[in-house]
Structure 1
Amino acid sequence: MANAGERARSRARRVDRAVTGLVVTAVDGAADVLAAATIWARATACRDGDPEPAPGEAAVPGLLKRLDVVGARLVLARVDGRPVGFTLVAPRADALEVWYVGVDPDAWGGGVARRLLRTAEDHARETGHEELRLWVIADNARAIRVYESAGWVGTDEVAHNPRSGRLERRFVRRVRTG
């Protein structure tokens, strides 16, 4: 069993790798969708303390459902060609909705989520949206810290996720356009 110092050094090495050489690009076909789904499965299993993630294929239908929205955009973050995170956004009448922000647990703490959120903000500006919105599981402290540190603001709007039953809270981020 690794001691605390060894775990910290190992985490620092993962963080350094995640920050160095991070490239964010639009998805390029079914393989990238599966890569995003696999990241989602790994991240949610880690978040929820599940010992084994579901197969990535199990998350593909959810991603495809959101990708069917006109104007939806899925981007993948890679380090040295390896997928480490993704976001999926889609326009609403009055905002750009962030449906997914997923980062592989091996890249947690390396700035991947912040970079993906900045990419979503850039896309909002490019498409003329002054506000981004997302839902986050209310007890997901790690994600909430990331959103707040990136300038997102929690609202009083809450809802139970119809699939999981978990309480979610709405976060918003205003961006300047033009």
Structure 2
Amino acid sequence: MTAPLKLTTSREFEAQREAARIWSLAKARRDQNSESDPVEKTLPGIQRRLDLAGAELILATNSKGSVGFTLFAPHEETLEIFYLAVAPDSWGGGVAGALLAGVEEYAREISRGILELWVISDNERAINVYQRAGFIGTDQLQYLESSGQTERRMIKHLG
């Protein structure tokens, strides 16, 4: 049985650090690295996206502490998810689905009818999570020079 989950919107520095920690852990597991990057290395990326107009960070916590987060910002007609990560020891526990539901609720509150995100095109685990939540893949691809990875745009129309 999974511990009850609480979603909290926060821009506090400690929430940003927790998000960076979770991102580092999830990224290391995804990439099959034995060590995760230090928080200080991933924190600037979180802060850069949080500086966008209207950006929000939702932190998921349970009795174990912080277990996931998402960071998103509105565009004129869409809400773009820039980060969604779950601590590896909480994978499969419904955290990602709860975070995506929180993003969807927020999008409706600010009258955005489309969610969008970019996902690494060979990250099957993430793609499956997004598809289960109702996202569909598009033909739009972008190559990231910094990582050498290709990303695919996914969208979800809110009915």
Moved over 6 A (4+): none
The one-letter code of the counterpart of 2:126 is A
More helix by share: 1
Match of 1:154 in 2: 137
CA offsets 1:129-175 (integer angstroms, 9 cap, x no match) = 00010000000000001000111100011111232120100000111
Distance (whole Å) between structure 2 residues aligned to residue 150 and residue 141 of structure 1: 14
Any residues of structure 2 matched to 1:59-138 within 5 Å, and which? 59-80=42-63, 82-138=65-121
Q: How many residues align?
A: 159
Distance (whole Å) between structure 2 residues aligned to residue 162 and residue 130 of structure 1: 31
TM-score, scaled relative to structure 1? 0.87
CA offsets 1:70-100 (integer angstroms, 9 cap, x no match) = 1000010001160000000101122100000
Distance (whole Å) between structure 2 residues aligned to residue 81 and residue 140 of structure 1: 26
Match of 1:21 in 2: 4
The one-letter code of the counterpart of 2:13 is A
More strand by share: 2
CA offsets 1:6-28 (integer angstroms, 9 cap, x no match) = xxxxxxxxxx33xx310000125
Equivalent residue of 2:77, what SS? coil
The one-letter code of the counterpart of 2:156 is R
Gaps of 5+ in 2: none
Structure-2 change in CA distance of 1:106 and 1:65 (3 Å): same
Match of 1:30 in 2: 13
Match of 1:9 in 2: none
Kept in 1, the 8 Å contact 2:11–2:57? The answer is no
- The structure with the largest alpha-carbon Rg is 1
Task: Calculate percent identity across the aligned residue pairs.
Answer: 44
Distance (whole Å) between structure 2 residues aligned to residue 125 and residue 70 of structure 1: 18
Distance (whole Å) between structure 2 residues aligned to residue 155 and residue 67 of structure 1: 26
Q: CA deviation at 1:118?
A: 0.5
Distance (whole Å) between structure 2 residues aligned to residue 75 and residue 161 of structure 1: 25
